[in-house]
Structure 1
């Protein structure tokens, strides 16, 4: 059996979506702990602070990132996160999770080396399980 994900992160301003995904993750026991940030700024602030003094257990193994958020959107987060991602020793698998079905958004996200895959909302339970079992 694969090692269970210890820490995952959701960066999304949609409270209903976040609560639904959180409930699925908890019910299916897909990870031990979950960080939730309501916009890209909160998320990037967390990661930039981690660079100063981080412990391995504070680095999420999986990030689910929305594109359309206030304050700092997913594109701005990706731009800044790409610059610091390799400074972490642990691999971080990032998924863009968006309601956008625009081919331009999907292609742009998938073209970034930081993005593992693009999932369209609403995310199905089997897709989430695949993400957390590292098969998506």
Structure 2
């Protein structure tokens, strides 16, 4: 089981459903959320500055289409500013619509493990867990599998 997941999505219903399914699937012990990329980056700033004693999220469910700062902006800043500080953090893209150019563009971000279009369901969480098995120790994921 992962310790913490972060859901970045501006749609309250999508966020609520994703968080509930994470709980049902025992995907992570804790789930936090942000309504846009800027809020999520501010959250990561709290770890860099030492203002947070809680664990850094190991996994992010990221919508790409949001106001203020979209998921693309988040990925760009995270990859340049935080990826080296938090190399264990992995990301699933959960946007509704991506075209082939978007999928190619995602390949430049090493932390992105794949595209999982909504709605998030237990089967997609199982697919994500399977992909994560290569990144995290078996012991930490055994309760999730």
Under a length normalisation based on structure 2, what TM-score does the superposition of the two structures give? 0.81
How much does 1:55 deviate? 6.1
Which has the larger share of strand?
1
**Residue ranges of structure 1 left out of the alignment (5+ in a row):** none
**Residue ranges of structure 2 left out of the alignment (5+ in a row):** 135-145
* 1:110–1:116 contact (8 Å) kept in structure 2: no
Question: Structure 2 matches for 1:90-101, cutoff 5 A?
Answer: 91-101=88-98
Match of residue 126, structure 1, among 123, 127, 134 = 123
Match of residue 50, structure 2, among 20, 28, 53 = 53
Aligned to 1:85: 83
CA distance in 1, matches of 2:115, 2:69: 19
Task: Give the aligned length.
Answer: 132
How much does 1:33 deviate? 0.3
Aligned to 2:142: none
Under a length normalisation based on structure 1, what TM-score does the superposition of the two structures give? 0.86
* 2:25–2:122 contact (8 Å) kept in structure 1: no
Q: CA RMSD in A?
A: 2.0
